[in-house]
């Protein structure tokens, strides 16, 4: 900071204003060159390298209020960081104010009411750890380093979702700092329009400082594990897979992944680094009952490894973390599907044969079940017709590979478009600016109304943005 102040793009914030802001925080205010600045601005996707003018590392809601008011008073672009896992890197803004919520990572579980209050800096592992102490859980994602806040605001789904719905289907209430710097409580009975929009509408409407979730009895052991097939058997295995999973109860889900076999102990060493098709079954219920339910899945084809068995739920939530550690370059593309067709399977084989790196994978989650029993207009998350979701995890380390890795993902995405619903899960959109209508579909117009009421100046625009109506 110079004696006159800190440059923020086309303007300079006076030094005295920054000093006053810093002294009013319980947390820390960082500027370029400060200890911890580079660490705070570094997020999961190594393709993102942006330099905020200021980073407010908040310790509580009061700091968030201060930060939002400071940002709006000085007409700064504001980004909000929770876990920093967003693929598009929307947590970090060049030359503006980054509100860093990662220090706010508390989780408090009430086992009597089966409720959890979660701060926005918590990651999935934090929530799972506290809830599993009481044999409880709520549907969240599948990588334990993902931030609870970003996952939830986009909708959220994972291994438990066919039985218990999306993450937002289990959100009971939220505390939100609005664009005017006010703290409000949103629920079905308090500011219900805002509460509706928070459940899948992203960070468009404010900064959530506390989430309240309903919990369910899960684990501590669940039946799960990878089943590894040769890539050459993909057509036959997936043709049988789609018949088997169509008859599974909601307690069961089976995802599949096409990738090079990672060096896991459960996979024979001779298969490490070779292309494989991995089925990943999970049963959210009694383990013995699950053995019978998942038996037809395990009977498919001639796998080279089958590691299905009882596993700690929290451990299964972390089972694939090693395949998505921070520091790599990442680009995703995604589609929703109502069915798995012959044409889709053939396309998976075609593009699976030319996966650009060993860390890249074609991942398909089986959804449906309880997710699709919720009416489309019940929450902002609209994708109640998806039975399968494809996410292309394109992953590499050499910047010189950017063009060919991104091209592979875009070409496969385009080839799958004729089979897709036209909707897209907003948390999987890699571009800074995406198609908001594809993300929010039938609910887009209502989201515009809520945005216009709560953020008419589009203060919170560094997200999968819903623009307010012109004033």
Grouping H, G, I as helix, E, B as strand and the rest as coil, residue 67 is helix
User: CB burial class (10 A; 0-12, 13-18, 19+) of residue 412?
Assistant: buried
* 179 in the same domain as 318: no
User: Which domain, by its residues, includes 374?
Assistant: 221-428
pLDDT tens for 258-306 read 999 999 899 999 999 999 999 999 999 999 999 999 999 999 999 999 9
* 166 in the same domain as 66: no
* 121 in the same domain as 12: no
pLDDT tens for 371-427 read 999 999 999 999 999 999 999 999 999 999 999 999 999 999 999 999 999 999 999
Query: Could you tell me what percent of the chain has a pLDDT over 70?
Result: 97
Average pLDDT on 221-240 reads 98
- Give pLDDT, residue 437: 86
* 79 in the same domain as 178: no
Average pLDDT on 151-173 reads 98
- Give pLDDT, residue 77: 97
In this structure, is residue 468 part of a structural domain? no
Total domains present in the chain: 3
Residue 230 has pLDDT above 70, yes or no: yes
DSSP annotation string for 185-211 = EEESSSSHHHHHHHTTSGGGS-EEEEE
- Give pLDDT, residue 435: 77
* 208 in the same domain as 250: no
How far apart CA 377 and CA 398 sit, in angstroms, is: 43
In this structure, is residue 466 part of a structural domain? no
**Which CATH number characterizes residue 156's domain?**
3.30.465.10
**Which CATH number characterizes residue 294's domain?**
3.40.462.20
* 177 in the same domain as 250: no
Contacts with 354 (C-beta within 8 Å, 6 or more apart), sequence order: 408
* CA–centroid distance for 144 within its chain: 10
Residue 4 has pLDDT above 60, yes or no: no
* 408 in the same domain as 319: yes
In this structure, is residue 170 part of a structural domain? yes
For residue 25, the cross-strand partners are none
Peptide bond into 151 cis (omega under 30): no
How far apart CA 415 and CA 272 sit, in angstroms, is: 29
pLDDT tens for 86-105 read 999 999 999 999 999 999 99
In this structure, is residue 459 part of a structural domain? no
How far apart CA 158 and CA 182 sit, in angstroms, is: 33
- Give pLDDT, residue 9: 63
Residue 269, number of CB atoms within 10 A of its CB: 9
Q: Is the dihedral of CA 66, 101, 94, 469 positive or negative?
A: negative
Residue 10's pLDDT band (cuts 50, 70, 90): low
The reported pTM is 0.95
Q: What value does the mean pLDDT of the chain take?
A: 95
- Give pLDDT, residue 339: 97
* 328 in the same domain as 311: yes
Residue 125 has pLDDT above 90, yes or no: yes
Measured between its terminal Cα atoms, the distance across the chain in Å is: 36
- Give pLDDT, residue 434: 67
Residue 12's pLDDT band (cuts 50, 70, 90): confident
Residue 456 backbone class (left: φ over 0; alpha: ψ -120 to 50; beta: rest): alpha
In this structure, is residue 153 part of a structural domain? yes
Show the DSSP H helices in 208-354 as ranges: 234-245, 287-298, 313-317, 342-352
Residue 1 has pLDDT above 60, yes or no: no
To the nearest 10°, report the CA torsion of 212, 127, 424, 96: 80
pLDDT tens for 19-45 read 999 999 999 999 999 999 999 999 999
Residue 153 has pLDDT above 70, yes or no: yes
Q: Which of 1-5, 145-149, 234-238, 398-402 has the lowest mean pLDDT?
A: 1-5
- Give pLDDT, residue 432: 67
Average pLDDT on 63-86 reads 97
* 165 in the same domain as 18: no
How far apart CA 86 and CA 58 sit, in angstroms, is: 19
Q: Which of 128-142, 205-219, 422-436 has the lowest mean pLDDT?
A: 422-436
In this structure, is residue 469 part of a structural domain? no
């Amino acid at each position: 900071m110079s004696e006159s102040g800190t440059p923020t793009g086309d303007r300079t914030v006076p030094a005295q204003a920054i000093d006053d802001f810093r002294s009013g925080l319980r947390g820390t205010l960082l500027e370029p060159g400060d200890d911890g600045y580079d660490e705070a601005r570094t997020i999961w996707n190594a393709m993102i390298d942006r330099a905020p003018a200021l980073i407010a590392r908040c310790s509580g809601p009061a700091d968030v209020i201060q930060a939002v008011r400071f940002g709006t008073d000085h007409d700064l672009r504001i980004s909000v960081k929770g876990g920093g896992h967003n693929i598009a890197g929307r947590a970090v803004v060049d030359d503006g104010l980054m509100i860093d919520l990662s220090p706010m990572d508390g989780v408090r579980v009430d086992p009597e009411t089966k409720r959890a209050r979660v701060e926005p800096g918590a990651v999935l592992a934090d929530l799972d750890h506290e809830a599993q102490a009481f044999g409880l859980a709520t549907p969240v994602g599948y990588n334990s380093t993902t931030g609870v806040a970003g996952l939830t605001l986009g909708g959220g789904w994972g291994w438990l979702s066919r039985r218990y719905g999306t993450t937002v289907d289990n959100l009971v209430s939220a505390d939100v700092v609005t664009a005017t710097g006010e703290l409000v409580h949103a629920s079905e009975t308090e500011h219900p329009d805002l509460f509706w929009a928070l459940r899948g509408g992203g960070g468009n409407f404010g900064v959530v400082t506390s989430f309240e979730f309903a919990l369910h009895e899960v684990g501590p052991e669940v039946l799960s594990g990878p089943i590894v097939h040769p890539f050459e058997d993909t057509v036959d295995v997936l043709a049988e897979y789609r018949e088997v999973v169509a008859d599974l109860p909601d307690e069961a889900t089976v995802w599949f992944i096409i990738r090079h076999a990672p060096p896991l102990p459960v996979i024979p060493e001779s298969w490490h680094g070779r292309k494989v098709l991995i089925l990943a079954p999970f049963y959210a219920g009694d383990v013995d009952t699950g053995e019978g339910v998942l038996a037809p899945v395990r009977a498919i084809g001639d796998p080279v490894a089958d590691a299905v068995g009882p596993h700690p739920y929290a451990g299964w939530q972390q089972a694939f973390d090693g395949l998505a550690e921070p520091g790599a370059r990442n680009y995703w593309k995604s589609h929703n599907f109502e069915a798995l067709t012959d044409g889709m399977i053939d396309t998976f084989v075609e593009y699976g044969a030319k996966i650009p790196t060993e860390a890249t994978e074609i991942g398909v989650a089986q959804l449906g079940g309880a997710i699709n029993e919720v009416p489309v207009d019940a929450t902002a998350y609209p994708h109640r017709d998806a039975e399968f979701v494809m996410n292309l995890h394109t992953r590499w380390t050499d910047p010189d590979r950017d063009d060919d890795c991104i091209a592979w993902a875009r070409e496969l995405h385009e080839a799958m478009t004729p089979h897709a619903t036209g909707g897209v899960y907003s948390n999987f959109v890699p571009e800074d600016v995406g198609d908001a209508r594809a993300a929010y579909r039938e609910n887009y117009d209502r989201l515009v109304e809520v945005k216009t009421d709560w953020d008419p100046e589009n203060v919170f625009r560094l997200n999968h943005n819903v623009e307010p109506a012109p004033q």
